[in-house]
Amino acid sequence: MWHPEIPRVPLPCTRTRHVTTPRCRGGVGPRHRVPGARVPPGTSCHPVPGSSCHPAGTLRAPDLANCKLMAFPVGIYKAMRSVTEGIHRISLANNELKSITSRFVTTFSQLTELNLAGNYLHRLPEEITSLQHLRDINLSRNRFRRFPEPLATVPTLETIDLEENEIAEVPTDQLASMASLRSLNLRANPVGPEVRLLVRPLVPFDLLLSPEEPIPKA
């Protein structure tokens, strides 16, 4: 149920270099609706050709996946500045992000779920430790070569998805001290044999790994 103190307002359409996300034009073309999204009466939203990009899911859970974004749109910071404490989920999956800024993290400090899958990220800002309510982060299909150690100091994290990165080692002592962690997905990473030894009860979470490839016979 929508809380009356948080107004339902449409997120602005934004621009990135070379790419324009959907523009809403009154009375033009078929109406493009996404389950849970709010489109103002009398408007029609046109997705980017070949993309499922749309302005947002809801104000509490903005969905900016598949928009070819190179950075988080400044216009959305402005549009949402009065309601950021009510935002608990954001999806920026399948974009072209190379970094997440400290401004993003400190602005959306009440996040419980963050989906950054399918970008070009290789590190996280130290300010990620300020997300004291974060339970689920999806960093799969990025370019991490090392486990993003700032995550180890987020006490509420339950699920970390790092599938399809380039991680070979993990900070085992730090991970073992994460009391809330339930699942760490490292499938499709070039992890060393010592990582494969991290099973219960040595660590208090489920470690998901790809099957070890057999050593070819000489």
124-140 per-position pLDDT tens digit: 999 999 999 999 999 99
Q: Tens digit of pLDDT for each residue in 201-210?
A: 778 899 999 9
Three state DSSP letters for 85-124: HHCCEEECCCCCCCCCCHHHHHHCCCCCEEECCCCCCCCC
pTM of the model: 0.75
User: pLDDT for 41-96, tens place per residue?
Assistant: 333 333 433 344 544 456 678 899 999 999 999 988 888 888 999 999 999 999 99
Report, as an integer, the average pLDDT of 27-50: 35
134 Cβ partners below 8 Å, 6+ apart? 111, 112, 113, 114, 128, 154, 156, 157
Set out the domains of the chain in order of their start, with CATH numbers: 97-218 (3.80.10.10)
